[in-house]
Structure 1
Amino acid sequence: MVYVRKDVSALTAAEKRRFVTALLTLKRRGEYDHYVRTHIEYYVADGEAGLRTAHMTPSFLPWHRQFLLELERALRRVDPAVTVPYWDWTRQRGTASTPWTPDLLGGTGRRSDLQVTTGPFAYAEGNWPLRENVTDAEFLTRDLGRPRDPIELPPAAELEWAMKDPAYDSAPWDSTAGRGFRNKLEGWGGGRGKGSWRNHNRVHRWVGGVMVGGASVNDPVFWLHHAFVDLLWSRWQRRHRGHGDHRYLPATPPGPGHAQHGRVVARHERLPPWDVTPDQLEDHSRIYRYA
């Protein structure tokens, strides 16, 4: 049966409790840290050698769709009523609004060390120690809005810049692609500083703390953020259905001699670490829908 992912701002008090409880259950069982390890392992930049599947690559969207499904299935084994909500950061833009409330994800970190001290994932609660991390910190950290060097969440106009591009992706199939919805949504820009982080990437920077880097899954907001990114892919597909490039690209693997040969996944190739292809992940309508 097709289930529904809701806007986090529309969750009832009971739905919030069940979502939080399911996450904490996975953490207590040791299952949650598997997802953190997986994301760290596949957080490969396009300047590194080898195959890229999760970031700076056309498979950014299907890889994270499957990643979300894996976590969601685990949550639903704990509680079949739970689904991953999405955080629309073009609408819920405050540091004290949903999802940053004490009954859901808690708020920003304290000034001294960015440690989150409110909500169910605060270190003092004893339920969310960080065991898989790129640093030695054992507590969840955030720096919402980065007050000492302010940064804003992506505005609707920036998102529209990505949504109106009719091509899914384009050569050279990495973080420098100037044309294509995927790279514009993922948010790699030219230059340095704030202007080089757009859409998806800018949200990670705005949250700050552990959300900056490969261990970003340590913050449960990762899933809410990527559920919205997943929804945006669905909206983009509907908008550009009649365009020739609306399907996943590249359709065929880059050939020998191409800079991306063996480094990106084509439409019908296996998407590690799973036995699934981007083609199989383009349509989620038989599994879930968005409210």
Structure 2
Amino acid sequence: MAYVRKDAGTLTRAAKRRFVKALLELKRRGEYDEFVRMHIAHFSADGEHGLRTAHMAPSFLPWHRQFLLELERALRRVDPSVTLPYWDWTRDRTTTSVPWTADLLGGTGRRSDHQVMTGPFAYREGNWTIKVGVTDEKFLTRDLGSPRAPVDLPTKRELEWALKEPAYDVAPWDSTVTRGFRNRLEGWGTGRGRTSWRNHNRVHRWVGGAMLGAASVNDPVFWLHHAFVDLQWYRWQRRHRGARYLPATPPGPNDEQHGRIVARHQKLPPWDVSPDELEDVGRIYRYA
């Protein structure tokens, strides 16, 4: 029977407590840091050689769908009642709204060093030391809204701009494409600065701190953000019936993307699963 992922804004006090407790237990066991390592290992950009799976590629959505499933399975081994909540950043848009409450993720970082001082993931609580990252900081950092260079969260209109796109993705299957649902949602835009960050990418920028790099998994909001992104793929599929993951077949040997992206029936490293197998997960979970 499929379980339900709920809007973080609808969680009961008890549900929040169970979710936080399960996350902290994974951290205590050392399991959580393995997820950080995995994301860093698969964070490849357009300009790098080799296979791209997690970002700047068609497999952005199925890769993260499987990533969320792996974390959720780990959480449910701790507490079978726990599922991943999602953060609707088109609605909960302030630095004090859900999920930035003391009983869920805590708030923004202090001005001097962006260290998070409130909530269960604050370093001073003793349960969330950063052990795997791209800097030497041991504490979680955030800079919600980037007050010194303000960034706004994406709006419903901007999300709709992605959802109305009928094609899943288009050649050359990277961060430069201006059509295709995948990149409109992932959010690599033309130009420079904050105007080029859209949807998914702009949310990472808005949160700031640990969420800015390959080690963004160190901030638990990563999972709530990506659960909402995953929900958009589900909504896009329902709107564009029959539309499938693209490319259906691998680029040929003369194509610059040959061996660099995952086609529909190819396996998604590091798992033995293909985008095709991840297009319909209705028997595993659904969204409320």
Q: TM-score range by the shorter chain?
A: over 0.9
Shift of 1:263: 0.1
Match of 2:106 in 1: 106
| Structure 1 runs of 4+ with >3 Å offset | none
Match of 2:277 in 1: 280
Identity of aligned pairs, percent?
77
Cα distance in 2 for partners of 1:205, 1:77 equals 32
Shift of 1:202: 0.1
Match of 1:258 in 2: 255
Shift of 1:58: 0.1
Amino acid across the alignment from 1:271: L
Match of 2:172 in 1: 172
Shift of 1:172: 0.2
Cα distance in 2 for partners of 1:215, 1:230 equals 19
Cα distance in 2 for partners of 1:7, 1:44 equals 30
* Superposed CA RMSD: 0.4
Shift of 1:179: 1.1
Cα distance in 2 for partners of 1:105, 1:276 equals 31
TM-score (normalised: structure 1): 0.99
Shift of 1:258: 0.2
Shift of 1:152: 0.3
Shift of 1:178: 1.5
> 1:51-200 counterparts in 2 under 5 A?
51-200=51-200
SS, match of residue 4 in structure 2: strand
Match of 1:20 in 2: 20
SS, match of residue 77 in structure 2: helix
Shift of 1:177: 1.1
Amino acid across the alignment from 2:266: E
> 1:31-50 counterparts in 2 under 5 A?
31-50=31-50
SS, match of residue 17 in structure 2: helix
SS, match of residue 289 in structure 1: strand
Cα distance in 1 for partners of 2:233, 2:173 equals 17
- Unaligned 5+ segments in structure 2 are none
User: Per-residue displacement from partner, 1:2-27 (whole Å, max 9, x unpaired)?
Assistant: 10000000000000000000000000
Cα distance in 1 for partners of 2:209, 2:165 equals 31
Match of 2:205 in 1: 205
Cα distance in 1 for partners of 2:151, 2:183 equals 21
Give the count of matched residue pairs: 288
Cα distance in 2 for partners of 1:252, 1:201 equals 27
Cα distance in 2 for partners of 1:192, 1:136 equals 28
User: Per-residue displacement from partner, 1:52-92 (whole Å, max 9, x unpaired)?
Assistant: 00000000000000000000000000000000000000000
